Chains A and B, each alone.
Chain A
Amino acid sequence: QQQVKQSPQSLIVQKGGISIINCAYENTAFDYFPWYQQFPGKGPALLIAIRPDVSEKKEGRFTISFNKSAKQFSLHIMDSQPGDSATYFCAAIDNQGGKLIFGQGTELSVKP
């Protein structure tokens, strides 16, 4: 069964701090790992994505770290801002057809 497990379920960070969200997957039938940001009432918006043969990718304040041997990957948000308050989903793209398998989501709250 294809699964992606995400933690923590919720996270409170002070403005300027680092937010860290972790994910783990259970099989190797995935070939791309995107992260999405979702605001209430909106669709998920692509933040950043990484291939499994890359250990780290950075875009602005957002960095993905990927550990292929441990089947784990994480999102780091540097200098977190109140505007970053949203729900974040890690996901994995199935290499057979391209469907997305999502983690359970992390509700991030950045306090001013």
Chain B
Amino acid sequence: DAGVTQSPTHLIKTRGQHVTLRCSPISGHKSVSWYQQVLGQGPQFIFQYYEKEERGRGNFPDRFSARQFPNYSSELNVNALLLGDSALYLCASSFGSSGGGAKNIQYFGAGTRLSVL
């Protein structure tokens, strides 16, 4: 079975531009989460979606937005890019449930490396 797939793998943008990152979850998973990982640090939570509804939002500016589609794939959008947005953007999927537990264990894709010049 395919794991979490992300596209593109690498992206170079300039300051002020807009970027869209895409993610396809593991088949059967209904929850998708997005994380930002800066070099040398642990991933930081950006968004979580479950059944197309936003379930959680991390401490990121409104320039960051996301959505989940009926097929459970997801997009992360970042507007007005800043140099500090350069990072590895990770998508993770899980079965997801309101009851917590093992169904919320997340599996990650390989990430999209975003460089802002």
Q: Which A residues lie at the B interface, using CB under 8 A?
A: 6, 31-32, 34, 36, 41-46, 49, 51, 89, 91, 93-105
Contacts and interface: CB of A to CB of B under 8 A. Distances in A.
A98 B33 CA distance: 9
B38 to A, nearest CB: 11
Interface of B: 4, 6, 31, 33, 35, 40-45, 48, 50, 55-56, 58, 88, 90, 92, 94, 96-97, 100-102, 104-111, 113
B79 to A, nearest CB: 23
Contacts of A46: 105-108
B102 A49 contact: yes
16 contacts: A32-B100, A32-B105, A42-B110, A43-B90, A46-B105, A89-B42, A91-B42, A97-B48, A98-B48, A98-B96, A98-B100, A98-B106, A99-B33, A99-B56, A102-B43, A105-B42
